């Protein structure tokens, strides 16, 4: 019979008895829902973030994420949740769950600076009998190649007196069908002992935890999930262009194909890819694959198709204005929806912003309307627009040369838009019936 090391057994027992203190590092769209879930299950939670404004908002009971209600946050605070910028308090917790960004740099290569800077800040405050879990999407090998040696630099024996796992986030903001607790969670450990502790950490708050053989397997699993979406969206975007040239409505085609009860999963075209995962994650694998002499042509081609979609939309919009004897230069364009997908306030990698930049460069006068984004925020790597959301009224709509449906929030009154908009360029297939005012893009 295998003897379980005392530190491992003690830590597992603390998770099972809910006496463990949970540390969540990064209080955004992934970290904050996780905070609330652990608090709901009776754990004391400490949230870490470098953004003092976020910390102060949370401490005062105010949520900065639309789909996270004030009541849930208040309940977490009553349970003892604290938010802090003081990373020395990492020594107070039993688990450190890292939920920080992993963007691309200006050369479209992985930027692990957020992860590595966070770990470097935490390392001096680590202690024995803790577990660190990385949830940020990254390339296979990151946990073992980057996090492991940093933890070992403190003299810990990982798998005996310190535990390390990778468990990719699977949040889908705005999706009412699934929550943090109901989405199955993959977990891979540096060792078998690490995995057991990881399963105990997540098993108390997630309905189904899926163990895999290693951190690399878990890292690759996350990439496959997102590359699967990227490739299929690239396919349907290319099909949209072909169908348009043939005078066929791609949305009618998708609806018809979706009636097949096997072998087909519907994906829908759009103006480009957005969000923190799909536009970025495939490049993490293509970059790492080069180290092994492998060319990921299929993945890169899908990325190229998706990246070119904003240009396709601009070309369709330009042609539509030309047919009405107007040029883009000097025309007024109202962009509907600047979040990356419907019914959320998340603007990360939103194709709407790229469309606004391209329209402005062509001389258009650009405004936007988005009920979830009242004021245009400052974004990394993008131009800043000194704009506020325009209220949609008959008079406002009639005052624009073109209305560009970029993100089709359900709160928009699409009948009103159709009635009073002079020209509507629809990138989301919201208008299914033919109409002289509507141009599909």
- The most distant pair of C-alpha atoms in the chain lies apart, rounded to whole Å, by 83
Check residue 364 and give its pLDDT. Answer: 98
Strand, helix or coil at 162? strand
Same domain (yes/no): 320, 286: no
Do β-strands 332-336 and 365-369 pair in parallel, antiparallel, or remain unpaired?
parallel
Same domain (yes/no): 269, 333: no
What lies within 8 Å, CB to CB, of 89 at 6+ separation is: 23, 46, 48, 125
43 falls within a domain: yes
What lies within 8 Å, CB to CB, of 259 at 6+ separation is: none
Number of domains in the chain: 3
Q: Alpha-carbon distance 24 to 46, whole Å?
A: 6
Count Cβ atoms within 10 A of the Cβ of residue 381 and give its class: 0-12 exposed, 13-18 middle, 19 or more buried: exposed
- The count of residues in the chain is 441
378 falls within a domain: yes
336 falls within a domain: yes
The pLDDT profile of the chain, 441 residues, written as one tens digit per residue, is 445 567 899 999 999 999 999 999 999 989 999 999 999 999 999 999 999 999 999 999 998 888 788 899 999 999 999 999 999 999 999 999 999 999 887 777 889 999 999 999 999 999 999 999 999 999 999 999 999 999 999 999 999 999 999 999 998 877 778 888 999 999 999 999 999 999 999 999 999 999 999 999 999 999 999 999 999 999 999 999 999 999 999 999 999 999 999 999 999 999 988 766 667 878 888 888 888 999 899 898 998 999 999 999 999 999 999 999 999 999 999 999 999 999 999 888 899 999 999 999 999 999 999 999 999 998 876 778 999 999 999 999 999 999 999 999 999 999 999 999 999 999 999 998 889 999 999
User: Backbone phi, then psi, for 126, in 5-degree steps?
Assistant: -75, 155
Check residue 3 and give its pLDDT. Answer: 54
End of a domain among 282, 307, 332? 307
CATH number at 205 reads 3.40.50.720
1 falls within a domain: no
Same domain (yes/no): 155, 274: no
End of a domain among 186, 213, 240? 213
pTM of the model: 0.90
Q: Compute CA distances 105 → 101, 134, 428, whole Å.
A: 12, 20, 29
Same domain (yes/no): 41, 141: yes
Same domain (yes/no): 200, 233: no
End of a domain among 213, 243, 275? 213
The CA-based dihedral angle spanning residues 210, 213, 216, 222, taken in that order and rounded to the nearest 10 degrees: -20
DSSP assignment letter at 145: I
Same domain (yes/no): 358, 420: yes
Same domain (yes/no): 426, 300: no
Same domain (yes/no): 240, 121: no
Known catalytic residues are 277
Same domain (yes/no): 267, 366: no
Same domain (yes/no): 344, 398: yes
Q: Which domain holds residue 278?
A: 214-307
Specify which residues 189 forms β-bridges with.
165
Sign of torsion over alpha carbons 338, 340, 343, 344: negative
């Amino acid at each position: 019979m295998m003897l379980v090391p005392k530190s491992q057994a003690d830590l597992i027992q603390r998770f099972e008895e809910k006496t463990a203190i949970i540390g969540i590092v990064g209080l955004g769209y992934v970290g904050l829902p996780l905070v609330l879930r652990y608090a709901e299950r009776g754990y004391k939670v400490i949230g870490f973030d470098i953004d003092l404004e976020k910390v102060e908002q949370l401490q005062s009971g105010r949520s900065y994420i639309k789909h996270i209600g004030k009541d849930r946050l208040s309940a977490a605070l009553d349970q003892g949740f604290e938010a802090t910028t003081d990373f020395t308090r990492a020594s107070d917790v039993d688990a450190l769950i890292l939920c920080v960004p992993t963007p691309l740099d200006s050369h479209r290569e992985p930027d692990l600076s957020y992860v590595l800077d966070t770990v470097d800040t935490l390392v001096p405050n680590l202690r024995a009998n803790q577990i660190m879990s990385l949830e940020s999407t990254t390339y296979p090998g990151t946990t073992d190649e980057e996090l492991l040696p940093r933890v070992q630099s403190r003299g810990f024996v990982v798998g005996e007196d310190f535990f390390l796992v990778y468990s990719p986030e699977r949040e889908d903001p705005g999706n009412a069908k699934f929550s943090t607790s109901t989405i199955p969670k993959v977990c891979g450990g540096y060792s078998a002992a690490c995995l057991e502790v990881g399963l105990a950490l997540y098993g108390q708050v997630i309905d189904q935890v899926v163990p895999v053989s290693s951190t690399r397997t878990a890292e690759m699993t996350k990439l496959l999930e997102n590359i699967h979406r990227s490739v299929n969206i690239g396919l349907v975007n290319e099909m949209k262009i072909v169908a348009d040239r043939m005078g066929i409505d791609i949305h009618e085609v998708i609806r018809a194909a979706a009636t097949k009860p096997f072998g087909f999963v519907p994906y829908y075209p759009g103006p480009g890819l957005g969000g923190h995962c799909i536009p970025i994650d495939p490049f993490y694998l293509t970059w790492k694959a080069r180290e092994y002499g492998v060319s990921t042509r299929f993945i890169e081609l899908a990325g190229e198709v998706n990246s070119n979609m904003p240009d396709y939309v601009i070309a369709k919009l330009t042609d539509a204005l030309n047919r009405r004897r107007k040029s883009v230069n000097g025309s007024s364009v109202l962009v509907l929806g600047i979040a990356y997908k419907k019914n959320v306030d998340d603007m990360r990698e939103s194709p709407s912003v790229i469309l606004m930049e391209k329209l402005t460069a062509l001389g258009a006068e650009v405004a936007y309307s988005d009920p979830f984004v009242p004021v245009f925020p400052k974004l990394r790597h993008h131009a800043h627009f000194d704009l506020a959301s325009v209220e949609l009224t008959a008079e406002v709509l009639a005052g624009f040369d073109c209305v560009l449906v970029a993100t089709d929030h359900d709160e928009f009154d699409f009948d009103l838009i159709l009635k009073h908009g002079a020209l509507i360029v629809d990138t989301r297939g919201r208008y299914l019936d033919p109409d002289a005012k509507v141009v599909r893009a």
